[in-house]
Amino acid sequence: MNNPTKIFTFLICFSPFLTMSQDSSKVEVPVKQSMVILNYYAINNTLPYFKVETKNKLGKKFEPVKEVEVSLYLGNEESPDALIAKLKTNAAGEAVTGIPGSLGSIWKSASGHIILAKAAGTKNFDESEAELSITKAKIELDTISDGETRSIQVKLLKQDGDSWIPATDVEMKVAVKRLGGDLMVSEEETYTTDSTGMIAAEFTQDSLPGDEKGNLVLVAKIEENDELGNLYAEKTVPWGVAKNATNEFDKRSLWATSDKAPVWLLAMAYSIMIGVWTVIIYLVFQMIRIKKLGKFNR
Amino acid sequence: MENSTHIDPRNITADLYPKKFGKAGTIWTIVLIIICLVGAFAYYRQIRYGLVVTHMRDYVSWGIYISNFVFFVAISLVGSLITAIFRLANVKWSTPLTRIAEIIAVSAIAFASVIIVVDMGRPERFMNLFLHGRLQSPIMWDVIVIATYFVISLLLLYIPLLPDLKIMNKHKDRNTKFLNKLYTFMGSFWQGTSAQFKISNRAITILCITIIPVAFSIHTVTSWLFATTYRPGWDSTNFGAYFVSGAFLVGSGAVVVAMYIFRKSYHLEKYITGSHFDKMGKIVVMLALLYLYFNVNEYLVPAFKMKKSEEAHLAELFTGEYAAMFWFAILTGMIIPIFILLFPKGRRPLPAFIAGVLVVVGAWFKRYLIVTPTLLHPFLPMQDAPDNYFHYFPSWEEWAIAMGSLAGALLIITFFARVFPIIPIYETVTEQDEKLDNE
């Protein structure tokens, strides 16, 4: 092989390795900004809980930071008596806690509270804090059905001293709980409470599959409201179509377990296997015959 | 052009008798053993630390190992082409090539099995395939058909070897002690009686008939591992024929390469002649054109429709991250060999050898391109994953194991050629005698 041919062959054969090398160009490192996010939740008007999230903001991206110690205080001062909990964030940079019994009476005594979250600094996370001011509120979910039309009435009340007063001008979602998320009950995406704290939503979802009895779960929720936090209430109603689930678990199919393979597949596969391996076994016997003939002649 | 009409039958045995490694052969063997040992060490690391030593992650879960597996399965198909199809078609000129093709097939299919176990990560769970395997899964079909093809290929290698073993057993003084024991064990019963020949000829014919559908099945089933999956680049009804045509091409390319190396190393110019290169060259051109046709189908039709899911995959291949490798594979695997081998001068031994090397190298990268880019384009968006999940480049352990397996296959062929005649002695003598009788 002459030299140009050798060089050409070498380049052709090795060019993919050259092009497969990784891009090593420098990437500008964005400035890190650590933050703690505090949220308040009340599900079905029961005991509330708080969720803290620790994140680093890198450019436009938020990255959760795990193993960050966060102290939650009832009130805006760091006092051992007001400590709700000392939390450590998980792999998703989240931690959750309820109100401890020791602070139950203080929690009940007022209609609104300030919560302070103080996150300790770590190697990847700078010390930071967040404050949340919330007013206690509750959702009353009711339904009206007259045979032809179905509507949902939601009343939102917030605590004011010892009494509950309507919470007005609050945006709320009313939906049906489904497997992969919530389905709006009508074309309206959100509703706003009126001067009596009420909203009325017409249920226009017809023939929606429910459980075996035709039950659907209605939900009313307020998300990230500055004053009330996150509230969520649900109610089960028999407005769906009863699901008549047929269990095909025991039937033979391509996606079943090995002992339930379709008969046609088994017949085809085994007949081919038996056919080919019979030939192979026959040939092995022929080899034995050849061997015997050899010994006999010897 | 050279041909084999003027060989003195008395010299054939001496010419074709297995020879000890020369200096080049020894160096070649040592290099292969070293590559295998590096691969074995990398595999030890994979067993010790788990598949995390590879760069395969959630998205690219089939990397270089599966590309290598598909390559091995493809190259193994040549045994059925040269041995079975040519024998059944009564093509006499292929006699010196049959054993080369068969040992390539056996070594390739053996290492296809090895590399699939390597890809499993937990080799001790291999038996679970048989204990709990689902016959509904194409992976199970692949296991069955590979085992079957391996047994048939071994028989097709062994039975035609029997008359040669008799010759080896006759020349005990030329063999080492170990080889004499081996030849005695394998073929002392062969007396060459007409009854034995009758049975063996019949057995070979049956094997030739059986191996063709099994060979087609082996690569069709391998293609179904991909085509039964609804993914860009794999979702094709054409995949079986596409894979089989590509397999015949790479196998033929490999035979041309092996022909040239054996001819040079063992001075077999009288047996593997220019005429053989000319004929094999024409076959490679035909197969390259056929494979090119299937490639046009595989890429042009989806590119014409440009479904959203296929778009990113095709863009990546044609102009994106994999474009250099894609065009390299198309050019070296098909276009350049066609242009070289289309002309009589290109079908002379050296250019044909270069074309064969290009076909084999191009085919290896083609398998990489079939397996990997598709996995980087799932239907659901790739998000909330570490950066290295979005790209794939094999780790050194993966390269070492893949190269070790290739070296292992070459080592089997090398040792086989040291122990057994790489060109059938008995058949060559018989054919020469027939020619002389006819003249």
DSSP for A3-31, please give it.
HHHHHHHHHHHHHHHHHTSPP----PPPP
Would you state the pLDDT for residue A4? Answer: 55
Give the dihedral sign, CA B22/B24/B28/B34.
positive
| B27-45: pLDDT as tens digits | 999 999 999 999 999 999 9
B7 CB neighbour count, 10 Å cutoff: 18
| B189-218: pLDDT as tens digits | 999 999 999 999 999 999 999 999 999 999
Average pLDDT over residues A239-263: 87
Sole residue written with tokens 């990437």: A27
Q: What per-residue string of b and e applies to A242-257 under the rule 16 or more CB within 10 Å gives b? A: eeeeeeeeeebeeebe
Q: Percent of chain A having pLDDT more than 90?
A: 56
Asked if the C-beta of B202 comes within 8 angstroms of chain A's C-beta atoms, the answer is yes
Task: Give the burial class of A122: count Cβ atoms within 10 A of its Cβ; 0-12 exposed, 13-18 middle, 19 or more buried.
Answer: middle
Asked if the C-beta of A20 comes within 8 angstroms of chain B's C-beta atoms, the answer is yes
Asked if the C-beta of B206 comes within 8 angstroms of chain A's C-beta atoms, the answer is yes
Residue A24 has pLDDT above 70, yes or no: no
Question: CB-side exposure of A152: number of CA atoms within 13 Å?
Answer: 30
Residue A14 has pLDDT above 50, yes or no: yes
**Could you tell me which chain B residue has the CA closest to the CA of A274?**
B148
Asked if the C-beta of A296 comes within 8 angstroms of chain B's C-beta atoms, the answer is no
Q: Looking at beta carbons, which residues of chain B come within 8 Å of A262?
A: 136
| B280-300: pLDDT as tens digits | 999 999 999 999 999 999 999
Task: Indicate the residue of B159, B191, B329 with minimum beta-carbon distance to A297.
Answer: B191
Read off the pLDDT band of A5 (50, 70, 90).
low
Asked if the C-beta of B351 comes within 8 angstroms of chain A's C-beta atoms, the answer is no
Q: How far apart are CA A275 and CA B104, in angstroms?
A: 26
**Could you tell me which chain B residue has the CA closest to the CA of A2?**
B350
Question: CB-side exposure of A230: number of CA atoms within 13 Å?
Answer: 11
* Residue A4 to chain B, least CA–CA distance (Å): 13
Asked if the C-beta of B365 comes within 8 angstroms of chain A's C-beta atoms, the answer is yes
Task: Tell whether ipTM is more than 0.90.
Answer: no
Of the listed ranges A7-11, A252-256, B88-92, B403-407, the least confidently predicted one is A7-11
Q: How far apart are CA A140 and CA B311, in angstroms?
A: 50
* A–B CB contacts, 8 A cutoff, strictly below: 95
Reported as type and span, the H/E element at residue A58 is strand A49-58
Asked if the C-beta of B156 comes within 8 angstroms of chain A's C-beta atoms, the answer is no
| A49-62: pLDDT as tens digits | 999 999 999 888 89
Would you state the pLDDT for residue A22? Answer: 44
| A43-90: pLDDT as tens digits | 888 878 999 999 999 888 899 999 999 999 998 888 888 999 999 999
| B234-247: pLDDT as tens digits | 999 999 999 999 99
Q: How far apart are CA A236 and CA A213, in angstroms?
A: 11
Read off the pLDDT band of B79 (50, 70, 90).
confident
| B418-432: pLDDT as tens digits | 999 999 999 999 888
- Rounded (10°) CA dihedral B158, B163, B165, B169: 160
Residue A261 has pLDDT above 50, yes or no: yes
**Could you tell me which chain B residue has the CA closest to the CA of A61?**
B384
Asked if the C-beta of B214 comes within 8 angstroms of chain A's C-beta atoms, the answer is yes
Average pLDDT over residues A226-251: 88
Task: Indicate the residue of B133, B203, B358 with minimum beta-carbon distance to A283.
Answer: B203
Residue B162 has pLDDT above 70, yes or no: yes
Average pLDDT over residues A165-176: 93
| B339-391: pLDDT as tens digits | 999 999 999 999 999 999 999 999 999 999 999 999 988 888 887 788 888 88
Q: How far apart are CA A240 and CA A178, in angstroms?
A: 12
A84 with A103: CB under 8 angstroms? Answer: yes
- Rounded (10°) CA dihedral B254, B257, B261, B266: 70
Q: Percent of chain B having pLDDT more than 90?
A: 76
Long-range contacts of B335-340 (CB under 8 A, 24+ apart): B335/B292, B336/A12, B337/B253, B337/B284, B337/B285, B337/B288, B337/B362, B338/B285, B338/B288, B338/B289, B338/B292
Residue B2 has pLDDT above 50, yes or no: no
| B255-277: pLDDT as tens digits | 999 999 999 999 999 999 999 99
* Residue A256 to chain B, least CA–CA distance (Å): 8
Would you state the pLDDT for residue A84? Answer: 92
Would you state the pLDDT for residue A29? Answer: 66
Locate B382 and state its tokens: 């790739």
B237 CB neighbour count, 10 Å cutoff: 8
Given an 8 Å threshold on Cβ–Cβ distance, is A287 in contact with B203? yes
Q: Which of A210-219, A254-263, B397-406 has the highest mean pLDDT?
A: B397-406
Given an 8 Å threshold on Cβ–Cβ distance, is A290 in contact with B199? yes
Read off the pLDDT band of B3 (50, 70, 90).
very low
Query: Across-strand partners of A234?
Result: A219
A156 with A222: CB under 8 angstroms? Answer: yes
Task: Indicate the residue of B144, B151, B193 with minimum beta-carbon distance to A280.
Answer: B151
- How does the average pLDDT of chain B come out, rounded? 92
Question: CB-side exposure of B399: number of CA atoms within 13 Å?
Answer: 6
Asked if the C-beta of B139 comes within 8 angstroms of chain A's C-beta atoms, the answer is no
Task: Indicate the residue of B136, B325, B358 with minimum beta-carbon distance to A12.
Answer: B358
Query: Across-strand partners of A32?
Result: A58
Query: What angle, rounded to 10 degrees, do the helices at B323-330 and A3-19 form?
Result: 140
Given an 8 Å threshold on Cβ–Cβ distance, is A254 in contact with B136? yes
Q: How far apart are CA A291 and CA B413, in angstroms?
A: 27
Would you state the pLDDT for residue A23? Answer: 46
Task: Indicate the residue of A5, A22, A294 with minimum beta-carbon distance to B191.
Answer: A294
A78 CB neighbour count, 10 Å cutoff: 12
Read off the pLDDT band of A126 (50, 70, 90).
very high
Residue A12 has pLDDT above 70, yes or no: no
Locate A27 and state its tokens: 């990437």
B314 CB neighbour count, 10 Å cutoff: 20
- Strands A150-160 and A163-166 come out as antiparallel
Would you state the pLDDT for residue A21? Answer: 45
Would you state the pLDDT for residue A246? Answer: 79
Q: Looking at beta carbons, which residues of chain A come within 8 Å of B365?
A: 16
Find all residues with CB under 8 Å of B173, minimum gap 6, and list them: none
* Residue A19 to chain B, least CA–CA distance (Å): 7
Would you state the pLDDT for residue B11? Answer: 84
B185 CB neighbour count, 10 Å cutoff: 10
**Could you tell me which chain A residue has the CA closest to the CA of B214?**
A276
* Residue A13 to chain B, least CA–CA distance (Å): 7
Would you state the pLDDT for residue A3? Answer: 57
Residue B138's φ and ψ, nearest 5 degrees, are -60, -25
- B309 three-state secondary structure: helix
Task: Indicate the residue of B133, B214, B336 with minimum beta-carbon distance to A276.
Answer: B214
Read off the pLDDT band of B1 (50, 70, 90).
very low
Given an 8 Å threshold on Cβ–Cβ distance, is A280 in contact with B148? yes
Given an 8 Å threshold on Cβ–Cβ distance, is B133 in contact with A258? yes
Asked if the C-beta of A294 comes within 8 angstroms of chain B's C-beta atoms, the answer is yes
